[in-house]
Amino acid sequence: MSVVPASIDSESLAVGSAEHRRLLGSFFLESHVEYVPERMQWPALADEELTRLRNLPFWQEAVSTENVTSNTVAAAAALERDPLVRRAIELQGFEEMRHARLLVELTSHYRIPVAPPPRFAPRSLENDFLFAGFGECFDSFFAFGLFALARDSGFFPPALVKVFEPVMQEEARHILFFVNWVKYRRAQLPRWRRPAFRLRCAWIILRQVASRVKTARGMGRPQPSGAGTSENFTLTAHQDLGAGITLHRLLGLCLAENERRMAEYDSRLKRPRLVPAIARLVFRAIPASV
Ligand SMILES: [Fe+2]
Ligand SMILES: [Fe+2]
């Protein structure tokens, strides 16, 4: 895997500068990994492993999310006039589409029933890209911890962990690219337009937070059958993946995995801060038994 070496130069980089733009594009393009979902060698699973995999409630939601994200990101490439940054967004769109293809292959190989979602057509290129990107900042952070939990508890057999490891690392690249793109984009605007852009981002983040608070408040309550049980599935999946895990341990895992995955990339790129900061706050505020 070709990755931009971490900490080549720890000096800070002016956000919105030509160097920031070059690093934003080149880090993303150079760290792309080749694999073809349709040529994947799916491991044979024992009956018990197969049942556990089929019983996970989030396959349909995962397929729908990747469908929305891949179409949103692919369309958002048109926002960029700079060829390097545009190519990076196009590549991200390709990678998201590849996640959707990988899920199609997995669910059809292991005969997990999912309905193919209708193609999603974004309405506003920038707002939809911002909404999807901030959503990924939440989802990927929790997915890192959940994946580690499924790996360490043996819930996922090692052969399946190997298949999904590049997907997890791609999500780390996506959110790193996204937070830097938001800052780069804002810096390109005339000064008087920047506060409105910040406000729009804050509003979108609030909508994402509100949706997750709603999911968290519903956790543990009986759900009406078929009603949104898998929405924001990265928040609730620990109940399925690791028997008896506390929220405290899960947050600790998410924080450690986030750190480890981000450490692969050039330290001059800005790191996603908001979600790890909220998680750190909660981690310190609650007792280890919760
Ligand atoms: Fe994805
Ligand atoms: Fe992604």
pLDDT per residue as tens digits for the range 23-35: 999 999 999 999 9
pLDDT mean over 158-169: 94
Confidence of residue 234 (pLDDT cuts 50, 70, 90): confident
CA of 192 to the centre of ligand 1 (A): 34
- With contact defined as beta carbons under 8 Å apart, do 187 and 15 qualify? yes
Which residue from 185, 71, 69 is spatially nearest to 131, judged by alpha carbons? 69
CA of 41 to the centre of ligand 2 (A): 23
Residue 242 has what pLDDT? 61
Q: pTM of the entire structure? A: 0.89
Whose atoms come closest to the Cα of 136: which ligand? 2
CA of 84 to the centre of ligand 2 (A): 19
| Distances from the Cα of 44 to the Cα of 41, 47, 109, 158, angstroms | 9, 9, 10, 12
Residue 245 has what pLDDT? 84
DSSP character for 268? T
Which stretch of 47-56, 92-101, 187-196, 235-244 has the lowest confidence by average pLDDT? 235-244
CA of 96 to the centre of ligand 1 (A): 5
Q: Does pLDDT of 116 surpass 80?
A: yes
Confidence of residue 227 (pLDDT cuts 50, 70, 90): very low
Residue 263 has what pLDDT? 97
Confidence of residue 146 (pLDDT cuts 50, 70, 90): very high
Kindly report the CA angle at 152 between 151 and 154, in degrees rounded to 5? 70
Which stretch of 19-28, 61-70, 192-201 has the lowest confidence by average pLDDT? 61-70
Whose atoms come closest to the Cα of 73: which ligand? 2
Condensed to tens digits (0 to 9), the pLDDT of residues 67-112 reads 999 999 999 999 999 999 999 999 999 999 999 999 999 999 999 9
Kindly report the CA angle at 237 between 51 and 282, in degrees rounded to 5? 155
18 or 241: which leads in pLDDT: 18
Residue 253 has what pLDDT? 95
CA of 73 to the centre of ligand 1 (A): 10
Q: Does pLDDT of 179 surpass 50?
A: yes
